[in-house]
């Protein structure tokens, strides 16, 4: 048994009865939707038409929201329905980032995640979903797709159907008959700010920290596709002419006039800051570990300072993680009710183990257990590597955000740990007059890390990007709303100026301290851009 939906676009009249029935059945608050009707206007007067598409959770066979959920609040039933348990939800918003279809939201009344669950309570009673019952044109068909005698199985056998974003490999189970790509693919229709429903475009549903909407011209997008990739891929062919691409896409005059409200920036400054504090905590220990293994003399004072700094910034990391939850009182569910497929759980345990090892290392130093210090330091250093990069794997589970799928992201975060660690230690030790060997080690490590970081940034920005959403994000960063922050804050201030200062400066003085400070600022700016920019891409 496997339940699914067929949406017959030949019949849909855009009456929104399904949306209303869904809201009534589940008492869905104003400003958020489990089911909604997207409206797109296509063409130029007088040759225009309005397209309607019913959008909702796609009840995916390989549901990324289930994979990333740290507490098994989201789960797949035996009949294929993706359901949720709000009593287990910690409102980390990971599921919202993982869903490519913009199907989840944070309920403003319960502060937990919610979505279409196929009216599972009605299915258990032998009834159809509320939206199916109320549709006046029978444009929504539900049923068991594996039952050959069902209406939905017959429709799937007789008609060519489309799904939303099949390239995500989620195996969606909502199918569309006679669907137009400009309605199903968000990047094929330009968002408009001034419509009858303009008030819904300002983050009503999530009460988000920032609910600003990106306006991106499809003409600009076509130029980027051709410029960056040498063409636009369609049906296995690469078209290099912008004019030809524009005709084939047939979307430059499509306008998105109504969809579900924009949920804003789900992971805001707290996540950017936690990535930054985590980089400092892990980087400091990585540097001390490498120095010890390579025979560089590290005094007990320097070791005490490093352990203390790591514990302080690791504690800040935990505080920021908890603060970002909409259900902060449930943060222990990550450890006590773990779903091991989620990198949020693996990261939570890694941070816990890292904190325990740091504490034990400090205790060993205090108690003068000399035989334990080096083995513990090596084990703590290995754990620091996992803690520094796990967020990259968590972001990779967020399939809704293409920019985060970059294979370089784990290296990006590891290099930032080395940069942040060496900059922090140089800043602290500049007042303690460390040995020349220790100073040279930190300075050289920082210089090499910055150079590697610039190489990684170049690959991330100027490398080949096949995803339309990734190209949009890269354009935003390099020449859009984030260009000043990126070029002047991240690249110039955070990388190029420090390289010059490190090469020219030969002594430990205020210049060195200033260099360390601006590097740390540059790292935060970079992480802030990398976290926030991909979230400005609309998913529906």
pLDDT digits (tens, 9 = 90+) for 510-520: 788 889 999 99
Q: Is the pLDDT of residue 352 over 80?
A: yes
Which of 183-187, 283-287, 384-388, 525-529 shows the lowest per-residue confidence on average (mean pLDDT)? 183-187
Strand, helix or coil for residue 421: helix
Over the stretch 436-475, which tens digit does the pLDDT of each residue have? 677 788 889 999 999 999 999 999 999 888 888 999 999 9
Q: Alpha carbon 201 to chain centroid distance?
A: 21
Which residues, other chains included, contact 465 with Cβ-Cβ below 8 Å and sequence gap of 6+?
A: 228, 229, 471, 474
- Give the DSSP letter of residue 3: E
In 3D space, the residue among 402, 411, 387 whose CA is nearest the CA of residue 168 turns out to be: 402
Q: Are 479 and 527 found together in one domain?
A: yes
What is the CB neighbour count within 10 angstroms for residue 2?
Answer: 15
Confidence band, pLDDT 50/70/90 cuts, at residue 221: low
Q: Is the pLDDT of residue 218 over 60?
A: no
Of 224, 258, 292, the last residue of a domain is 258
pLDDT at 209: 39
Q: Is the pLDDT of residue 205 over 70?
A: no
In a domain, 32, yes or no: yes
In a domain, 417, yes or no: yes
Strand, helix or coil for residue 27: coil
DSSP of 95-151: HHHH-TT---EE-TTT-SEE---TTHHHHTTTPPPHHHHH-TT--EEEEETT-TTSH
Confidence band, pLDDT 50/70/90 cuts, at residue 503: confident
Domain range holding 52? Answer: 3-258
Task: Give the residue, 506 or 19, on which the prediction is more confident.
Answer: 19
- CATH number of 401's domain: 1.20.1630.10
Domain count of the fold of the chain: 2
In a domain, 263, yes or no: no
What is the C-alpha separation between 408 and 68, in angstroms, rounded?
20
**42 bridge partner residues:** 49
Of 210, 226, 258, the last residue of a domain is 258
pLDDT at 262: 84
Of 223, 238, 258, the last residue of a domain is 258
Q: Are 311 and 448 found together in one domain?
A: yes
- CATH number of 99's domain: 3.30.70.20
Which of 66-70, 340-344, 441-445 shows the lowest per-residue confidence on average (mean pLDDT)? 441-445
Q: Are 80 and 122 found together in one domain?
A: yes
Q: Are 96 and 222 found together in one domain?
A: yes
Contact 498/522 with Cβ under 8 angstroms? Answer: yes
Q: Are 228 and 369 found together in one domain?
A: no
- Answer whether 0.85 is exceeded by the pTM: yes
Q: Are 332 and 248 found together in one domain?
A: no
Q: Are 279 and 391 found together in one domain?
A: yes
In 3D space, the residue among 349, 365, 363, 359 whose CA is nearest the CA of residue 380 turns out to be: 359
Q: Are 250 and 276 found together in one domain?
A: no
Which residues, other chains included, contact 458 with Cβ-Cβ below 8 Å and sequence gap of 6+?
A: none
In a domain, 316, yes or no: yes
What is the CB neighbour count within 10 angstroms for residue 62?
Answer: 13
pLDDT at 210: 38
What is the C-alpha separation between 216 and 310, in angstroms, rounded?
42
What is the C-alpha separation between 332 and 339, in angstroms, rounded?
13
Q: Are 351 and 399 found together in one domain?
A: yes
Q: What share of the chain is helix, strand, coil (3-state, %, to 5)?
A: 55, 10, 35
Q: Are 307 and 412 found together in one domain?
A: yes
Q: Are 477 and 379 found together in one domain?
A: yes
Q: Looking at residues 108-114, what average pLDDT do you find? A: 93
What is the C-alpha separation between 189 and 251, in angstroms, rounded?
6
pLDDT at 93: 95
């Amino acid at each position: 048994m496997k339940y699914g939906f067929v949406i017959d676009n030949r019949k849909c009249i855009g009456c929104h009865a399904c949306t209303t029935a869904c809201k009534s059945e589940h008492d869905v608050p104003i400003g958020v939707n489990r089911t909604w009707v997207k409206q797109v206007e296509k063409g130029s007067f007088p040759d225009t038409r309005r397209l309607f598409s019913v959008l909702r959770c796609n009840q995916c066979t390989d549901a990324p929201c289930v994979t990333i959920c740290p507490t098994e609040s989201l789960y797949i039933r035996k009949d294929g329905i993706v359901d949720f348990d709000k009593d287990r939800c910690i409102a980390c918003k990971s599921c919202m980032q993982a869903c490519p279809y913009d199907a989840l939201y944070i309920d403003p009344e319960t502060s937990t995640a919610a979505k279409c669950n196929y009216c599972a309570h009605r299915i258990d009673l032998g009834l159809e979903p509320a939206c199916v019952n109320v549709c006046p044109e029978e444009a929504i068909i539900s049923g068991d797709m594996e039952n050959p005698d069902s209406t939905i199985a017959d429709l799937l056998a007789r008609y060519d159907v489309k799904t939303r974003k099949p390239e995500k490999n989620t195996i969606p189970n909502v199918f569309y008959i006679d669907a137009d790509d400009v309605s199903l693919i968000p990047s094929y229709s330009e968002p408009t700010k001034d419509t009858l429903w303009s008030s819904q475009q300002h983050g009503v549903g999530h009460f988000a920290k920032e609910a600003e909407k990106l306006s991106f011209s499809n003409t600009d997008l076509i130029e980027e596709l051709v410029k960056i990739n040498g063409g636009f891929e369609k049906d296995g062919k690469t078209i290099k002419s912008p004019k030809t691409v524009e005709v084939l896409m047939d979307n430059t005059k499509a306008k998105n006039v109504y969809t579900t409200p924009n949920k804003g920036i789900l992971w805001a400054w707290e996540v950017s800051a936690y990535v930054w504090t985590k980089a400092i905590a892990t980087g400091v220990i990585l540097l001390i570990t490498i120095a010890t293994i390579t025979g560089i003399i590290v005094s007990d004072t320097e070791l005490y300072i490093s352990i203390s700094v790591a514990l302080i910034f690791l504690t800040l990391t935990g505080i920021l993680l908890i603060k970002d939850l909409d259900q902060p009182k449930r943060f222990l569910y990550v450890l006590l009710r773990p779903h091991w497929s989620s990198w949020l759980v693996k990261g939570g345990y890694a941070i816990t183990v890292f904190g325990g090892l740091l504490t034990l290392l400090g205790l060993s130093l205090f108690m003068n257990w000399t035989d334990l210090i080096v083995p513990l330091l090596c084990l703590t250093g290995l754990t620091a590597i996992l803690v520094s990069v796990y967020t990259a794997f968590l972001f990779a589970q967020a399939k809704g955000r293409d920019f985060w799928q970059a294979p370089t992201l784990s290296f990006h975060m590891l290099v930032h740990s080395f940069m942040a660690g060496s900059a922090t230690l140089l800043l602290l030790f500049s007042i303690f007059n460390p040995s020349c060997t220790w100073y040279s080690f930190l300075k050289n490590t920082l210089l090499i890390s910055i150079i590697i970081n610039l190489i990684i940034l170049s690959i991330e920005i100027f490398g080949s990007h096949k995803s339309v959403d990734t190209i949009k994000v890269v354009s935003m960063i390099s020449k859009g709303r984030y260009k000043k922050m990126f070029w002047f804050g991240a690249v110039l201030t955070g990388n190029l100026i420090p390289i010059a200062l490190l090469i020219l400066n030969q002594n430990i003085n205020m210049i060195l301290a200033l260099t360390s400070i601006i590097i740390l600022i540059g790292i935060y700016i970079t992480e802030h851009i990398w976290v926030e920019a991909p979230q400005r891409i609309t998913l529906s």
